Structure 1
Amino acid sequence: MKQKTQFIIPILLLFFAVASCMDYDPFDKKPFEISGNGLFITNEGNFQYGNASLSYYNPETKKIENDVFFRANGRKLGDVAQSMTVHNGKGYVVVNNSGAVYVIDLQTFEILGGITNLTSPRYIHFVSDTKAYITDLYASAITIFNPQTLQKTGTIETKGHQSTEQMVQYGKYVFTNCWSYDNKILVIDTETDQVVNEITVGIQPTSLVLDKYGQIWTITDGGYEGSPYNYEEPTLYKIDAASQKATRFYSFNKEKRASEVALNGERDTLYFISEDIWCMDVTDSRVPVRPFLKAPANNSIYYGLTVDPNTSEVYVADAIDYQQPGVIYRFTPKGEPVDTFKVGITPGAFCFQYNNQ
């Protein structure tokens, strides 16, 4: 693999490099500091409107802080905040249509550095303290970078698969789902940084999780009516990570919009979205008859889902109409309401921050 020369860029220069790429006018900063455990919410905003934002929620106080990136740094986050990952005490915020990753301080939310000139980044997976992967919607390749220097060190060619999304790791292998007009789960050898296998599932697998028994779960959205890639029933799949074999677990009606899979902290309970929120033990032989959480009747789109790994409380993001500020619903492990709070436009992904991370 061709390696790019690595340089250590001073944080100040890196800040201006990332900021200039975004091309936003500066605003007054509001310094503040957060302590304790919390939950970040990435709000996508509207495509090409540059109104993505980052929210921070304290589960103990039930206090929500919106636009924390903007307030801490004096400039907007960018266009479509796709995901966030915490690693070694830093937050990595992926801004899809801006082609950038911001690295932020988890207490002050201030920029520590960044990675730019990406095509359409989606998610980050840390293989080690010196190697991480960034998937991409349009690049037909996965970017490799060094978290210590924030320098790109190579790419993984995805062999004709344009879209790569979420990642999970089993042993030395990283699995990633190809979502856009595709039906594959790619298997990457982290020792050689090459794709070594392709697993066929249904049309457009949306996300991935790895349970405690070494089973990978994904749910496909089935595409859409009139799609050039075809249209089929959304389906829940289970993949044995050791044998790399996929099993069709359950198919839903075509009109049932499906997205997102999530696990609790013990990784023995699976949650997923199929219009409503569903919950099952990972050892169950079938999906439940009744949903865990019924979606509100009107003006509601369950768009994002996560489960607190410490408390098993469930958080659901409601995009409403993709135009107004979204809403987050918080529930107990039994599905009892705990809190409701507003965030930014189109809340899509969550990231828990704990003091021990």
Structure 2
Amino acid sequence: MIRLILRGLASLLLITLLGLYSCNREEVVLPASRTKVTTPERLNTLHGFYLLNEGSMGRNKSTLDYFEYTSGIYFKNLYAERNPNVVKELGDVGNDIQIYGSRLYAVINVSHLIEVMDVHTAKHIGKISIPNCRYITFKGQYAYVSSYAGPVQIDPNARLGYVAKVDTATMKVVAECTVGYQPDELVIVGNKLYVANSGGYRVPNYDRTVSVIDLDTFTEIKKIDVAINLHRMEVDAQGKIWVSSRGNYYKIRSKLFVIDPATDQVTTSLDVPCSNMTVHGDRLYLYSVEWSYIKGGNSINYSVIDTKTQQVVQNNFITDGTEKQIKIPYGLAINPETEEILVTDAKDYITPGTLYCFSKEGKLRWKTTAGEIPAHIVFVPK
């Protein structure tokens, strides 16, 4: 009899502990940290911006932050708080983030997926599986995603990449178009999609082309010979396409090129190194962290180019000396309403980075701690 009572008590205790464990599992997720970084302000067109932190490869540490203009508060690691039941949270290496309609799309490279969220709440809607996905752009009902196609590794025999066509309503891949080796950033002008092929996995035999895809037939119609190891792309107010080459980190240096989509020809070559760039009005802002194996270090610069004249008009858009605090500039964005300049610092690629906000004159307004390798910024419209 005593044994039966003890067994009953043990069962009751086990059920109670399981219940507590179940409750605690839902409460174990740490809330997003909140830091007031500046005075609140009301903008006419923007609510705030998301910042996607890449996280070091192989550590599953990509995170999502948010800055809210009306409160001046920076929310760190928002995705985990809003999605406590998503296993492994965002995933491994956040490579791009964009808004289209009411949805927020985060490209998670090494996890081979695109996380789709509600743009206002950052709550999970669905996932799109694409191997080794890199960048995303949109037109009509479709998203277009560049993919390295193969595994994440250096391989002299790495296969050709492709661009995936995704139906945004169903979140399904409906077509693929083979392009060059290891395609990176992509842009759309008219009814043509352009993607920069890097060939980065096939070092030292880099690709040197921009693939042109006709969106009606979703086929590659030509390749434009540009330079080795292409990466970034931007379209200016005149409709011209700017594309960056990373060079080979030895004697071939990073450069900028301009493509005229009317002729699909390279019209300008600029001896300006570029790691990242963004267009605002008739100005192209860029920074470069140019590594050289010959020198054994980085050369860093911040520049502004007039896209009409295609000439450098400013050699440093940070004018108060704050650039001396930035070890590795990594993310760049311009607030389209206030013209404030946002720059992130990846530091040592392991410890939490820093987000800097400069006035349009290049003076520091505020800064705050972000996640690990803060990289990609997208503004949220009202």
Q: TM-score, length-normalised on structure 1?
A: 0.82
Cα distance change on mapping 1:303 and 1:185 into 2, 3 Å: same
Aligned to 2:167: 146
Counterpart Cα distance in 2 of 1:176 and 1:44: 22
| Secondary structure at the counterpart of residue 342 of structure 2 | strand
Counterpart Cα distance in 1 of 2:175 and 2:310: 42
Q: 1:197 aligns with which of 222, 228, 241?
A: 222
Pairwise CA distance, 1:49 = 0.5
Q: Does 1:126 align with 2:126?
A: no
Aligned to 2:187: 168
Pairwise CA distance, 1:310 = 2.3
Q: Does 1:242 align with 2:262?
A: yes
Pairwise CA distance, 1:28 = 4.2
| Secondary structure at the counterpart of residue 56 of structure 2 | coil
Pairwise CA distance, 1:319 = 0.5
Aligned to 2:147: 136
Q: Does 1:270 align with 2:281?
A: no
Identity across matched positions, percent:
25
Larger radius of gyration: 2
Structure 2: gaps spanning 5 or more residues: 1-24, 33-41, 151-160, 201-205, 289-299
Pairwise CA distance, 1:346 = 0.5
Q: Counterparts of 1:1-357 in structure 2 under 5 Å?
A: 28=28, 37-74=47-84, 75=86, 76-116=89-129, 118-129=130-141, 131-139=142-150, 140-158=161-179, 161-179=180-198, 180=200, 181-225=206-250, 231-252=251-272, 258-264=274-280, 266=281, 268-274=282-288, 275-288=300-313, 290-293=315-318, 296-297=323-324, 300-355=327-382
Does structure 2 conserve the Cα–Cα contact (< 8 Å) formed by 1:41 and 1:351?
yes
Pairwise CA distance, 1:184 = 1.4
Kindly indicate which of the two structures has a greater share of residues assigned to helix.
2
Does structure 1 conserve the Cα–Cα contact (< 8 Å) formed by 2:132 and 2:148?
yes
Counterpart Cα distance in 1 of 2:26 and 2:107: 20
Pairwise CA distance, 1:29 = 5.5
Q: Deviations over 1:276-322 (max 9, x none)?
A: 22112212243236322267336610111111222222111110110
AA partner of residue 378 (structure 2): C
Cα distance change on mapping 1:38 and 1:289 into 2, 3 Å: closer
Counterpart Cα distance in 1 of 2:357 and 2:137: 26
Cα distance change on mapping 1:236 and 1:112 into 2, 3 Å: same
Aligned to 2:295: none
| Secondary structure at the counterpart of residue 297 of structure 1 | helix
AA partner of residue 337 (structure 2): N
Pairwise CA distance, 1:26 = 7.3
Counterpart Cα distance in 1 of 2:309 and 2:26: 53
Structure possessing the higher relative contact order (Cα contacts under 8 Å, 6 or more residues apart)? 1
Structure 1: gaps spanning 5 or more residues: 1-24, 226-230
Pairwise CA distance, 1:249 = 2.9
Q: Which moved further from structure 2: 316-325 or 296-305?
A: 296-305
Counterpart Cα distance in 1 of 2:355 and 2:91: 22
Q: TM-score, length-normalised on structure 2?
A: 0.77
Does structure 1 conserve the Cα–Cα contact (< 8 Å) formed by 2:303 and 2:314?
no
**Cα RMSD between the aligned structures?**
2.3
Does structure 1 conserve the Cα–Cα contact (< 8 Å) formed by 2:31 and 2:80?
no
Does structure 1 conserve the Cα–Cα contact (< 8 Å) formed by 2:283 and 2:304?
yes
Counterpart Cα distance in 1 of 2:348 and 2:144: 33
AA partner of residue 234 (structure 1): S
Counterpart Cα distance in 1 of 2:346 and 2:61: 15
AA partner of residue 275 (structure 2): S
Does structure 1 conserve the Cα–Cα contact (< 8 Å) formed by 2:134 and 2:147?
yes
